[in-house]
Amino acid sequence: MKISEEILNNISSLSKIRIDEKIKSDLVKDLESILEMVGEMNKIDTSGIEPMSHPLEEADNLRKDKATKEIKRDEYQKSAPQTDDGFYLTPKVIE
C-alpha cells in the first residue's frame, strides 16, 4: 500500500504527533514496509490454528490470593521517614 503525504498528515493529525519534514520520506518508507509485512502475514493460512488468549500455557503463575488477618503495620512503618498514629506522613503537595 502506498502512503501519500495526505495520509501521513492525517495520521499525524489523528495521533497529535508533529512530524518533522526532514523525516517524512523515511517515515513513509517505514510505514509502507510495515503494511507490506502485515499483508504478507495476512496471506498465511491460519484456518487450522486454534486461537489462544496467551502464547504460554502457564501464563497465570501468580500466587493465589488468600485473605489473612496478619498486618505488620509497625514493622512496615519502621522504614518510613514519618508516621503518626499508624498513618504515613507525606509532604504537602498542593498549596
Instruction: Note the pLDDT tens digit of each residue in 69-87.
Output: 888 888 999 999 999 998 9
Q: What is the CA radius of gyration of the chain?
A: 27
Using the predicted structure, report yes or no on whether residue 67 has a pLDDT greater than 90.
no
CB contact at 8 A, 5 and 24: yes
pLDDT tens column, 35-61: 999 999 999 999 998 888 777 776 666
Look over the chain and give the mean of its residue pLDDT values, rounded to a whole number: 89
Q: What are the pLDDT digits (tens) for 6-26?
A: 999 999 999 999 999 999 999
CB 91 within 8 A of CB 83: no
d(CA 93, CA 95): 7
| pTM confidence score | 0.51
Q: What is the pLDDT of residue 65?
A: 82
Among 1, 12, 75, 70, residue whose Cα is nearest residue 38: 1
Residues 6+ apart with CB under 8 A from 24: 5, 8
